[in-house]
Each structure stands twice: as C-alpha cells, then as structure tokens.
Amino acid sequence: MSGRKSTMRLQAGTVASLLSVLAVVGGPVHAETWTADMQLNKQRSAGMCQRAGEFTYTLNWTAGKLTGKAQINSFSARTAADGAVSDDFFGELDQGLNTTVTTKMPRFTITGNAQTRQLDMAWPAGSCIWTLKPRT
C-alpha cells in the first residue's frame, strides 16, 4: 500500500509541476476592448479631408491582433507583442463588400500602439489622417 501512495504522490507532483510550467510558458492571453472616436488631425491632413466621415470604433486587442468595428467600416491588423501596429486594410463601406471587390475599396493604414491606445488611421490616397481618441 505504501508503494501505491508514493506513486500517486509522484504523479500528483508531476502534474502540478507540468501545470506550473505551462502557465509560465503559455501565460494568460492579453485582451482589451475599448471605444474610440475618429477625429480628423487637421495639422497632418490635406485641406480636402472631411470631418463628416468620422465614426466611433469599438476596438479589441487580443493575441497579436487589433480589430476595429464602426457603423460602416471595420478592420483587422496584426500587432507586435508590445502593441505596436502598422498595417494596411481595405475599407469596408458595405457589409460583406470587402471580400468581393477589394480592388475598388479605399485602402487605409492603421499605425500606433494598441497597448497605449495611441492610434492613427490614414487614407494615404487622400492624405487624410484621423486620430482614434479613446473615450474615458
């Protein structure tokens, strides 16, 4: 009986050690969600840029990916582990249209840092830059 208890203790210890190693290696998945208002950066934009195209985005940063969803536009961008982002995406002006006619959709760029929530969205073809200002 004593041999069986020792084996069970050894197995329990091994499982506990393995779980602690997995917790350190895998670590928790970082996830944040917040709301940000798109505001035209007049100093960095061309004079033709409009404020009328400003939307409120729901942003989510999880596992190396930043996603944003507004009323008529959404995006998904890769991020570095520290939250740095610099990625292009096609504007989705009509739900589902992005996957069928991407060559005719406006190309945007998202840059900045998701961790610090300092993000800019640009429309390079029109020389327009908006700041995604987090709501407090």
Of residues 28 and 110, more confidence is placed in 110
Paired with 33 in beta bridges are 60
CA distances from 44 to 52, 83, 119, 123 (A): 17, 23, 14, 12
- Return the pLDDT at 4: 59
Is 11 part of a structural domain of the chain? no
Mean model confidence pLDDT for the chain? 76
DSSP labels for 66-107? EEEE-SS-EEEEEB-TTSEEEEEEE--SSTTGGGT-GGGSPE
Is 7 part of a structural domain of the chain? no
| C-beta separation of 120 from 134 below 8 A | no
Is 122 part of a structural domain of the chain? yes
51 — pLDDT class (breaks 50, 70, 90)? low
Is 121 part of a structural domain of the chain? yes
Query: What is residue 47's DSSP assignment?
Result: T
Of residues 9 and 84, more confidence is placed in 84
Task: Calculate mean pLDDT across residues 82-88.
Answer: 94
Is 83 part of a structural domain of the chain? yes
Does residue 133 surpass a pLDDT of 90?
yes
Task: Calculate mean pLDDT across residues 39-60.
Answer: 84
Is 54 part of a structural domain of the chain? yes
Q: How many domains does the chain have?
A: 1
The amino acid at residue 106 is: P
Is 92 part of a structural domain of the chain? yes
Query: What span, in angstroms and rounded, lies between the C-alpha atoms of 55 and 93?
Result: 12
Q: Using one digit for the tens of pLDDT, what is the confidence trace for 57-84?
A: 999 999 899 999 988 778 899 999 999 9
Is 74 part of a structural domain of the chain? yes
5 — pLDDT class (breaks 50, 70, 90)? low
Does residue 22 surpass a pLDDT of 50?
no
Count how many Cα atoms sit within 13 Å of the Cα of residue 20 in the half-sphere of its side chain.
6
Q: Which domain holds residue 90?
A: 31-134
Helix (H) or strand (E) run with residue 24 in it: helix 2-26
